Amino acid sequence: MLQENQVLQGRYRIIKALGQGGMGAVFLARELSLDIPCVVKEMLPLSDPAFAETFAEQFKREAKTLADLRHPNLPRVTHYFIENGNYYLVMDMIDGMGLDKLIGPNGMRESVVLDIGDQLLGVLDYIHSKGVLHRDIKPANIILQPDGRAVLVDFGLVKVDSGRGGKDGPSIRGLTPHYAPPEQYTGGTDQRSDLFSLAATLYQLLTGRLPVSATDQSSGESQQSIRMYRGDASENTERVIMKALSLDRKQRYQDAASMRAALKGAVPAQAQGLQYSPTIVIPDPELLSQTPEHAMSIEAISEARSAPQPEAIMLGPGLFLDMMRVPGGEFKMGSGSQDADAFVEESPQHTLFVDVFLIGKYNVTNAQFAAFTAATGYQTAAEKEGNGYIYTASGWRDAAGADWRHPKGPGSDINGKDNYPVVLVSWDDAVAFCQWASQASGGRVIALPSEAQWEKAARGVQGRLFPWGGTFTPGGSAEPDPSRVNFNMNVGMPTPVGKYSPAWDSPHGVSDMAGNVWEWTGSLHRLYPYNARDGREDPTSRDARVLRGGAFNSPRRVLRCAYRSWSLPHFRFDYLGFRVVASQQMSDLSKKSDI
């Protein structure tokens, strides 16, 4: 058992144990050279020495396979090694809470369970295509992050399919009753085995009850229907889960894509009817080998010298949006090799041409959102469902009664905070505001920015690291600090819009593009390179949308202009708001053949 402050490989200092089981333990650690947190999984070798060599080879093979996996719902495996006869995997630390800690006695809301199921079936489809089986899917191995992302963890105990079929060889893992299919007790697991385990997990999330184990069912105990415990569950949801729980795997869905398609039948599509400015991708094979300081163009010099002025879009008497014009042209999107803080999903860095657009100088405020609700009678998702997610000293929690008017729940209010960013609004709520604003403006097309528009407005053609500047090496006068940005809990809550303006605005004069509150974009979360025509700007999809900018509780790394996060469209947090973009007048749109 590893001890606190023990150092492995001269590189990983153990901080504390996170969990322990019969096959090993998981530890929070710190990578010393980069000074970042990580997770170290220690696996004990099999007790039978006859399998020692086989075990070691299997571990190395599986570790290499896991290190090649890249998916937003998986942690990255960054290193593996053997030390003192024990086996270790090093993975990204995933912030959030295990689903086993979130299941109430009556289960979770069906809409949340369906979102989680859809995400996990997406990641299973991915790993199965790589020949990888998880074989221990259960609530404790799924971490729900504050933005709604479900991350499948405990990938130290997988099976890499050799393609030969037949029974499983000596395995690094055991199994977990109630979630394990019958074939896992005898060997011969395949991708349908993971679908059984996921179905057992979804069953528990919906009902709050453990499913009857495969062994108990074989002894004659029946699996009760979901609707026996949850009469409000849809028939389709029950049908899909119970089919995947069939003891005979031939009666289950034969792959994750089929089960995902069936589960989506319970989620009605909602068309929003928005339009977005076109963005064209131009591949960049050099991936920006030059630093921004050495890649200054004439456009960049002009941009740096100009003093951007806001343009007002009137929404009614005394009500307007301050907008900043972002000229059309190319810019570098994503992160190159010179940024040591970059995440994989920020690459490859590539050149985009973005047409001219206007973007809100500030986030939409409480006063502006109040005008919208007063004019339309609109109720937000948090108001209708009676809850929202708020950040506290001990982390985030689901708070009854929290909504945009009561950002910390009952007893709180927004009196005197007209000029604060509106929060606890879902993506759907933000879209509804845009639709109203388009009508109220008398002819503008107002929408959420694509993530390409957002990033260009934040960093400009200079390719700034932070909206105000900065270098790719931490340290120096341009680093984030409380005088220029609300981050890292230095204030502990949102501040008024424009508090740090104009000194710390973006090159295009846009305020608060780092910290304070996260911002919804119109873009679906997809891998780079960005291409507006590949479906990622589909306004009807219920998949996750990209978030940008970081919030009052975000660390330095998240404040970078290229950083990408995401959330499901119905989620709402007290550190999540939005700003808008606007097109030309509607009467001019017919003159643009590419819209």
2 falls within a domain: no
SS3 per-residue string spanning 118-187: HHHHHHHHHHHHCCEECCCCCHHHEEECCCCCEEECCCCCCEECCCCCCCCCCCCCCCCCCCCCCHHHHC
Domains contained in the chain, number: 3
Closest CA to 292 of 458, 504, 460, 453: 460
Show the low-confidence residues of the chain (pLDDT under 70): 21-23, 44-53, 146-147, 155-174, 266-308, 471-477, 584-595
**Residue-range definition of the domain harbouring residue 83:** 7-92
| Helix, strand, coil percent content, the chain, rounded in steps of 5 | 25, 20, 50
Same domain, 227 and 338: no
343 CB-side CA count, 13 A: 19
276 falls within a domain: no
Which amino acid makes up residue 80?
Y
pLDDT of amino acid 586: 37
Domain boundary among 57, 92, 127: 92
Residues in the chain: 595
Contact 421, 563 (CB under 8 A): no
Q: How does 522-538 read in b/e, with b if 16+ C-beta sit within 10 Å?
A: bbbbbebbbbbeeebbb
DSSP count for the chain of H helices, then E strands: 13, 25
Closest CA to 130 of 199, 198, 62, 189: 62
Same domain, 436 and 287: yes
CA atoms of 77 and 150, how far apart (whole Å): 17
Domain boundary among 92, 116, 133: 92
pLDDT of amino acid 589: 29
Same domain, 70 and 39: yes
Distance between the two ends of the chain, CA-based, in angstroms?
61
CA atoms of 394 and 146, how far apart (whole Å): 13
Closest CA to 204 of 182, 184, 224, 232: 224
Same domain, 380 and 434: yes
Same domain, 311 and 389: yes
Structure pTM? 0.54
Contact 461, 490 (CB under 8 A): no
Task: Report the interhelical angle of 235-244 vs 256-263 (nearest 10°).
Answer: 160
pLDDT of amino acid 52: 64
Put residue 587 in one of left, alpha, beta given phi > 0 → left and psi -120 to 50 → alpha: alpha
1 falls within a domain: no
Same domain, 77 and 102: no
Render pLDDT for 16-38 as a digit per residue (tens, 0 to 9).
888 776 567 889 999 998 888 89
Same domain, 85 and 212: no
273 falls within a domain: no
367 falls within a domain: yes
Which amino acid makes up residue 346?
E
Give me the CATH number covering residue 138.
1.10.510.10
Same domain, 123 and 243: yes
Same domain, 59 and 187: no
pLDDT of amino acid 21: 60
CA atoms of 51 and 46, how far apart (whole Å): 7
Same domain, 115 and 134: yes
Render pLDDT for 244-261 as a digit per residue (tens, 0 to 9).
999 999 999 999 999 999
Give me the CATH number covering residue 346.
3.90.1580.10
477 CB-side CA count, 13 A: 0
**Structure tokens that stand for 399 in this block:** 């708070």
Domain boundary among 266, 299, 327: 266
Set 68, 95, 115, 136: catalytic member: 136
Residue 58 backbone phi and psi in degrees, to 5: -65, -40
Give me the CATH number covering residue 49.
3.30.200.20
Same domain, 75 and 124: no
pLDDT of amino acid 1: 77
pLDDT of amino acid 473: 56
Q: Which residue has the tokens 């790394």?
A: 557
274 falls within a domain: no
Per the annotation, the verdict on 136 as an active-site residue is: yes
Question: What DSSP assignment string belongs to 356-407?
Answer: -EEEESSPPBHHHHHHHHHHH----HHHHHTEEEEEETTEEEEEET-BTTBB
CA atoms of 69 and 129, how far apart (whole Å): 11
Same domain, 135 and 252: yes
51 falls within a domain: yes
Contact 75, 66 (CB under 8 A): no
CA triple 427-431-435, angle to 5 deg: 170
Contact 137, 123 (CB under 8 A): no
